[in-house]
Amino acid sequence: MEKISNCIVKETRGKSYKSHKYCFANDEIPNIKYENEQKITVKKIGETASIESTKELRGKAKQIQKISKPLFKYFLDGSRKTYKVDDIAYDRRVYPIIAGQIGVGCCERNENKELRKNWIEHQKVIVLPNCADKDGSGKLFFNNLVMKINEHPLLKKLDIKFERILSYADRELHEGEKYENLGIAKIQDEMIENEKKIVDRLTSKNILNEDSYLIKDGSLEYQKMKTGNFRDLSIIKNNYRRVVGVSKSFNPEKCIDKRGKSNAKIIAELKLYHRTPAFMYESTRVLNVKFAIWYLRIRDTKYTISPFDGILKVEKILITDKEQEDGLDTEEVDLISANLINERNPVCYGKDSRWANHLYPVYLTEAFIKSGYLSNGFFINLF
């Protein structure tokens, strides 16, 4: 039976090379540009109280565990798998065809301390170079193409549907840049867009409130915050009022103080259940959005491989004018931190090498999303 790549070749008048198909390994993914690696320059303190060094929160964590329910009720994660499925020639240039499976999901924790699905969405996408659209019709062309692909007998038979065809720029590449990375970046953007959609959904249902926060896996500082369907800054701000971004990995060398010196030593030497003061940070990517960022150690260094294992980078968007001016209320920083400490167990030791930085509900959400993917072999062989 004819494969999807043949259909693409036919419809876009290209030439297929029947190249080797493979799944991009996670460490090959050029996500450096998108998350965790931005240079964080501390403009000023990002919380209301002035904290000299670090703050111990073990007592508070214990106390709130006894007297109140956990602050975090919702857990959001997104992931994608990307594949090189063929090379295609238009004119005299050869471009990769990238395909991907995107999954975003949100789990909620019930009274019985068990996670349940709140929302999950899986999408399959194909990324082609801009020039695949020979007439320059743009979106319309790719929308038509995806409809044609979805009519393909193979997909009909297997009851599989591609959500959309994305396009990457057909431009001169900088040194070290690859078309593959441009394609993967498109899929990453699509995933982020879907994550934002879920936050918007939760907010519009009014289920995020002062007693029910959401942990979003990774940084909140989306590069393309001002693009997509959720570009309105005021909406984003409102949506993220009860959202905390928790990153497992970060480059400590990128955290520098006002004098341009590295903060890495302070972070590395954080004691167990201590947090750094919150710093205020204004993204260079998203203007007029300020973040409070702080670091929190949830595992003892004696059990971890590197001094940065067991440390979470915590982010929260500053919403109100007062917050933007004075920083996040220290009470809230402490409350978020103490609740994060209480999320430290159970661990996914043995299942995930990042166990020291993982929060179990987030890990489960991630596993839940990944459980819905088609297997690599199956997906690749559609093409």
Partner 1 sequence: MNKIIGKVTATERKPTTIDEFYFWTSKDMILTPFDVIKVSHINNSITFGVIEEISHITDTQSYLNSFISNDFGDVETQTNTKRIGMNYVKAKVIGNTKNIYIPVRNGEQVCFASAEEIQEALGLDKKNIKNPLVCGYIEMYDGNDKGVKVSLPVYFNSHFLLGPEGAHLNISGISGLASKTSYAMFLLKSIQQYFTNEIEKEIKEDVAFVLLNLKGRDLLAIDEPNENLSEKDKAIYEMLGLDCSPFSNVKYFYPYSDRNISNTYAQKKDVQTQLNIEKAYKYKYIFEYDKENLDLLFSNIEDPNQTMESIINYIISEQGNFGNIRNWNDFVKEVGEHCKAGFSGDKEITVSSWRKFKRIIRKALSNPIFAQRVSEQDKEIRLQNAVKNIRKNEVFVIDIAKLDEGMQGFVFGDVIRSVYDLQLGQFEEIPEEQIPSKIIVFIDELNKYSSKDIPKYSPILRQIIDISERGRSLGIVLFSAEQFKSAIHDRVKGNCSTHAYGRTNAIEISKNDYRYIPQVYKNMMTRLKQGEYIIQNPVFRSLLNIKFPKPLYKQFK
Which residue ranges make up the site for partner 1 (CB under 8 A)?
65, 70, 72, 109, 112-115, 300, 303, 342-351, 355, 360-361, 364, 367
Question: Which SS3 state, helix, strand or coil, does residue 114 take?
Answer: coil
Nearer to partner 1, 8 or 312 (CB): 312
Nearer to partner 1, 238 or 304 (CB): 304
Min CB(304)–partner 1 separation in Å:
11
CA 82 to CA 80: how far, in whole Å?
A: 6
In one-letter notation, the amino acid at residue 142 is F
Nearer to partner 1, 41 or 65 (CB): 65
Rounded to a whole number of angstroms, the CA Rg of the chain reads 22
Min CB(313)–partner 1 separation in Å:
20
Report which secondary-structure segment, H or E, holds 311: strand 311-317
Question: Which SS3 state, helix, strand or coil, does residue 206 take?
Answer: coil
Min CB(63)–partner 1 separation in Å:
13
Nearer to partner 1, 290 or 344 (CB): 344
Q: How many C-beta atoms surround the C-beta of residue 87 within 10 A?
A: 18
**Using CA atoms in the order 12, 15, 18, 19, what is the torsion angle rounded to 10 degrees?**
-100
Nearer to partner 1, 28 or 300 (CB): 300
Min CB(269)–partner 1 separation in Å:
21
Min CB(169)–partner 1 separation in Å:
42
Q: Which two tokens stand for residue 100?
A: 């991907």
- Write the CA distances from 322 to 69, 85, 295, 319, integer angstroms: 28, 50, 22, 8
Paired sense of beta strands 55-56 and 44-45, if any:
unpaired
- Whether residue 185 contacts residue 146, with contact meaning beta carbons closer than 8 Å, is answered with no
CA 188 to CA 192: how far, in whole Å?
A: 6
Nearer to partner 1, 46 or 310 (CB): 310
Min CB(157)–partner 1 separation in Å:
17
Min CB(296)–partner 1 separation in Å:
16
**Closest C-alpha among 250, 207, 231 to residue 108:** 207
Nearer to partner 1, 27 or 111 (CB): 111
Min CB(368)–partner 1 separation in Å:
9
Q: How many C-beta atoms surround the C-beta of residue 212 within 10 A?
A: 18
Nearer to partner 1, 113 or 261 (CB): 113
Nearer to partner 1, 100 or 361 (CB): 361
Min CB(293)–partner 1 separation in Å:
23
The torsion angles phi and psi of 40, rounded to 5 degrees, stand at -100, 110
- Write the CA distances from 177 to 22, 34, 182, 183, 336, integer angstroms: 19, 15, 8, 11, 39
